[in-house]
Structure 1
Amino acid sequence: MTREYLLKGFEVELFTGLATGEHVGVSADVSKDLAGFVKEPDQRNLEYITAPIRKYECLKEALLTPRRRLREWLAVRQLTLLPGSTLSLGNSAQFERSEPSNPYHDLIEATYGTRVVTTSIHINLGIADLPRLFSALRLVRCEAALFLSLSASSPFLDGRPTGAHSQRWLQFPLTPKKVPLFLNHAHYVHWLEDQLANGSMWNERHLWTSVRPNGPSRPHDLNRLELRICDCITNCDLLLAITALLELRLLKLFQDPDQLDPLKVSRLSAVELADLSDMNDSAAAQDSLDATLHSWLDGKPILCREWLYNLLENVTPLAKDIEMFHLLAPIQSVLDQGNQAMKWLKKHSLGDSVEDVVQESIAEMEVEEIATTKSEAILG
Structure 2
Amino acid sequence: MTRFGIEEEFVLLDEETLVPVPLGSDAIDALTGGTGTFPPGSTGTLKTEFLTSQVEFATSAVHTLAEAEQQLRPCRSALSEFARRRGAVAVGMGTPYGIGPASSVTHSDRYGEIARWLGFISDTHHVNGVHVHVEIPDVDERIRALNAARAWLPVLLALSANSPFADGRDTGHASWRSIMMRRLPLFGSPPHFLDADHYHATVDRLIDAHVIPDVASVAWVARISARYPTVELRVFDAQLSTDDTLLLAAVCRALLVTPARDQRVHDSDVIQTSLWSAARWGMDATLVHPVSGDPIAARSATRLLLQTIAPALEENGDLTFVQEQFARILREGNGAQRQRAAHHHAGIAGLRALVSAPQPAPA
Bin for the TM-score computed over the shorter chain: 0.7 to 0.9
Conserved in 2, the CA contact under 8 Å of 1:142 and 1:273? no
2:186 corresponding residue in structure 1: 176
Distance across 1 between alignment mates of 2:313 and 2:140: 24
- The equivalent of 1:230 in structure 2 is 236
| Alpha-carbon distance in 1 for matches of 2:118, 2:25 | 16
Deviation digits for residues 338-374 of structure 1, max 9, x if unmatched? Answer: 11211222444x5643x1332121232xx2x1xx12x
In structure 2, distance between residues paired with 1:83 and 1:239:
10
User: How many equivalent pairs are there?
Assistant: 346
The alpha-carbon deviation at position 212 of structure 1 amounts to 0.6
Say if 2:21 is the partner of 1:24: yes
2:53 to 30, 44, 50: 44
Q: Which runs of 5+ in 1 are unaligned?
A: 217-221
- State whether structure 2 residue 151 is matched by structure 1 residue 116: no
Deviation digits for residues 283-325 of structure 1 (CA, Å, limit 9, x no counterpart): 1000011111112433211111101112212333443454321
| Of 294-303 and 159-168, the range deviating more from structure 2 | 294-303
Instruction: Find 2:138's aligned residue among 112, 123, 129.
Output: 129
Q: Is residue 38–residue 48 contact of structure 1 (8 Å, CA) maintained in 2?
A: yes
Residue equivalent to 1:273: 267
Matched, 1:138 2:152: no
Q: Is the 8 A contact 2:216 2:226 kept in 1?
A: no
In structure 1, how many angstroms separate the alpha carbons of the residues matched to 2:234 and 2:57? 15
**Gap change, CA 1:170 and 1:210, over 3 Å in 2:** same
Percent of pairs with identical residues? 20
Q: Which amino acid in 2 is paired with 1:27?
A: G
8 Å CA contact 2:9–2:92 kept in 1: the answer is no
Residue in structure 1 matched with residue 11 of structure 2 by the alignment? 15
Deviations 1:184-222 (A, max 9, x none): 101011111111111001111111111110043xxxxx5
1:144-163 Cα shifts (integer Å, max 9, x gaps): 11111111110001110001
| Structure with greater Cα Rg | 1
Residue 65 in structure 1 maps to residue 77 in structure 2? no
Kindly indicate whether residue 213 of structure 2 is the aligned counterpart of residue 213 of structure 1. Answer: no
RMSD of equivalent CA atoms: 2.4
In structure 2, what is the Cα distance between the partners aligned to 1:294 and 1:94? 41
Unmatched tracts of structure 2, length 5 or more? 37-44
Does the 8 A contact of 1:213 with 1:224 survive in 2? yes
Q: Which segment drifts farther, 23-32 or 39-48?
A: 23-32
CA distance in 2, matches of 1:197, 1:108: 15
Q: Is the 8 A contact 1:148 1:288 kept in 2?
A: yes
Using structure 1 for the length normalisation, give the TM-score: 0.83
Q: Is the 8 A contact 2:12 2:22 kept in 1?
A: yes
Residue identity opposite 1:6 in structure 2:
T
- Classify 1:169/1:114 alpha carbon distance in 2 versus 1 (closer, same or farther; 3 Å): farther
Query: 1:359 and 2:352 equivalent?
Result: yes
- Seen in structure 2, the aligned counterparts of structure 1 residues 252 and 237 have a Cα distance that, compared at 3 Å, is same
User: Residues 161, 111 of structure 1: CA spacing in aligned structure 2 closer, same or farther, 3 A cutoff?
Assistant: same
Choose from 249, 252, 256 the match for 2:255. 249
Taking structure 2 as the reference length, what is the TM-score of the superposition? 0.87
Q: Which moved more, 1:193-202 or 1:99-108?
A: 99-108
Runs of 4+, deviation exceeding 4 Å: none
